[in-house]
């Protein structure tokens, strides 16, 4: 049975085993929410529904990003920054090595008397 028809809706449930509970259905793709808290009293459920509606009215959509994902994202960002710095260092080291190898090969060729032919 619906108690509050406007979003977020409030439903009352009466299970066969007895008792009553109220659920605030705050699921919405538009607002990026996926919440369905339950309460033991109608007043608590209606208060929570009003608070959610007020929050959306004042702040707009709030994304529900788990804290673990935020922690992983920051750690990944730090790691990529470190790898990028290391990649630049490796590139510079390889450039130096290649220059050294080139001069080393040229020196060996001069000493051995090998002359490379220039292709046109």
Give me the long-range contacts of 75-79 (CB less than 8 A, separation at least 24).
Answer: none
From CA 112, how far away is CA 26, in angstroms rounded?
A: 83
Least confident of 8-17, 31-40, 59-68, 92-101: 59-68
**pTM listed for this prediction:** 0.47
| Top-confidence residue, 27 or 113 | 27
Rounded-to-integer distance, Cα 41 and Cα 60, Å:
28
- Across the chain, the runs of DSSP E, i.e. the strands, are 2-4, 9-13, 21-25, 38-39
Instruction: Determine if the peptide bond prior to 68 is cis (ω within 30°).
Output: no
pLDDT tens per residue across span 24-51: 988 887 777 788 888 999 899 999 999 9
């Amino acid at each position: 049975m619906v108690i509050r028809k406007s979003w977020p809706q409030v439903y009352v449930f009466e299970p066969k085993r007895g008792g009553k509970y109220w659920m605030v259905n705050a699921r919405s793709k538009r607002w990026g929410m996926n919440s369905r808290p339950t309460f033991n009293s109608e007043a608590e459920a209606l208060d929570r529904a009003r608070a959610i509606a007020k929050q959306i009215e004042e702040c707009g959509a709030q994304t529900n990003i788990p804290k673990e994902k935020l922690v992983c994202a920051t750690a990944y960002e730090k790691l990529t920054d470190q790898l990028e710095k290391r990649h630049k260092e490796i590139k510079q080291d390889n450039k130096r090595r290649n220059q050294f190898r080139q001069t080393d090969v040229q020196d060996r060729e001069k000493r051995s008397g090998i002359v490379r032919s220039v292709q046109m």
